[in-house]
Amino acid sequence: MIEIERLTRRYGSRTGVEGVSLRIDAGSLFGFLGPNGSGKTTTIRVLLGFLRPTEGRASLFGRDCWQAGRQIRQDVGYLPGDLRLYPSWTGQQYLKLFGQIRRRDIAAAGGDLADRFSLDMAVPVRKMSRGMRQKLGLLLALAHEPQLLILDEPTASLDPLMQEQLLQLLRALAEKGHTVFFSSHTLSEVERLCDRVAIVREGRLVADETLETLRGRARRRFTIRWVRLTDAADVKPPPFLAVDERRNRTWDGSLTGETPQLVQWAATQPIEDLTIGHPDLDSLFRRYYAHGPEADAS
């Protein structure tokens, strides 16, 4: 479905992305994560044929994105990260225009989506709130039921209920074989939706894994409460524990080794209480954002 090979895109002396390779199969819910300015939007713009790669290549449905952009976009729904619409147009006019340009009758599907999103299609864009405009952008990206959805920060400006509705809709589409390329800098929504995640940082791909694999790699948080204050001060942490904070009789930190190691070690220590949390994806991603692939090694 999506193939990107050693993609590099430079803007003069500045690098947008460098050496990015990805392969995404049909039916995937693919999360594309990275901080602002990391190269997510550049990658998307290459996929849509807006930018020509400096090196490498990108293809959708087996066709080159730059050469065959028009044909490719027939089956693509796209929501830009910085959505801008003609101010005087209403949702209905937009829907009609997109139907005419796509040469498809999308009125019924658009109407259903408008109902689902509680969007008044008779309101001109200039009178819409940011959230309403975002809903309209999503509606226009979804109305023709594309094989591939490329969504750049789609939940921006949406309220939590609407975000959940959108995620449900995307899950349902993926079950029907549609592919979702979901770009975001927010881990939680990617975690809720996607089955695979790539992380891009400073233009380079620093991870491309299933969410399960990443969860397995993420460290668990732990809290140990010692029986005596002196124990908390005197005991030397074993190598599989990274203690971030010591408060009175308590240690807080993350587990760099395996859970059984911690349990076995704790059984031999004068410990009053031990809490082990879920894998902490948040801190894993923060480390990826901050340090890149070396986060893995640490």
Binding window for other proteins (CB under 8 A); candidates: 50-58, 115-123, 242-250, 260-268 = 50-58
Dihedral pair phi/psi, residue 214, rounded to 5°: -65, -40
Q: How far apart are CA 170 and CA 142, in angstroms?
A: 10
Residue from the set 35, 98, 266, 274 that interacts with other proteins by CB under 8 A: 98
Contact between 80 and other proteins by CB under 8 A: the answer reads yes
Binding window for other proteins (CB under 8 A); candidates: 67-75, 166-174, 176-184, 268-276 = 67-75
Contact between 86 and other proteins by CB under 8 A: the answer reads yes
Residue from the set 63, 67, 100, 228 that interacts with other proteins by CB under 8 A: 100
Residue from the set 31, 39, 49, 91 that interacts with other proteins by CB under 8 A: 49
Contact between 85 and other proteins by CB under 8 A: the answer reads yes
User: Which candidate, 238, 261, 268, places its Cα nearest to that of 251?
Assistant: 238
Residues whose CB is less than 8 angstroms from the CB of residue 76 and which lie 6 or more positions away in sequence, other chains included: 48, 60, 146, 147, 148, 149, 150
Residue from the set 67, 74, 118, 129 that interacts with other proteins by CB under 8 A: 74
Question: Which helix or strand (DSSP H or E) is residue 147 part of?
Answer: none
Binding window for other proteins (CB under 8 A); candidates: 45-53, 178-186, 203-211, 240-248 = 45-53
The pattern of x and - marking residues 153 through 172 that bind other proteins according to CB under 8 A reads --------------------
- Count the Cβ atoms, other than its own, within 10 Å of residue 120: 15
Per CB under 8 A, which of residues 193..212 are in contact with other proteins?
none
Per CB under 8 A, which of residues 246..265 are in contact with other proteins?
none
69 near 46, Cβ under 8 Å? no
Cα distance from N-terminal residue to C-terminal residue, the chain: 34
Residue from the set 12, 82, 236, 267 that interacts with other proteins by CB under 8 A: 82
149 near 178, Cβ under 8 Å? yes
User: Which candidate, 21, 18, 90, 35, places its Cα nearest to that of 286?
Assistant: 35
The pattern of x and - marking residues 115 through 144 that bind other proteins according to CB under 8 A reads ----------------------x--x----
Q: How many degrees, rounded to 5, is the angle at CA 90 between CA 123 and CA 147?
A: 120
Binding window for other proteins (CB under 8 A); candidates: 56-64, 70-78, 254-262, 272-280 = 70-78
Residues whose CB is less than 8 angstroms from the CB of residue 46 and which lie 6 or more positions away in sequence, other chains included: 4, 7, 9, 17, 52, 53, 58, 65, 66
Q: Output the smallest distance, CB 67 to other proteins, in A.
A: 11
Q: Using the minimum distance from each CB to other proteins, give the nearer residue, 84 or 236.
A: 84
Which parts of this chain interact with other proteins (CB under 8 A)? 11, 41, 45, 48-52, 69-74, 76, 78, 80-86, 89, 93, 97-103, 137, 140
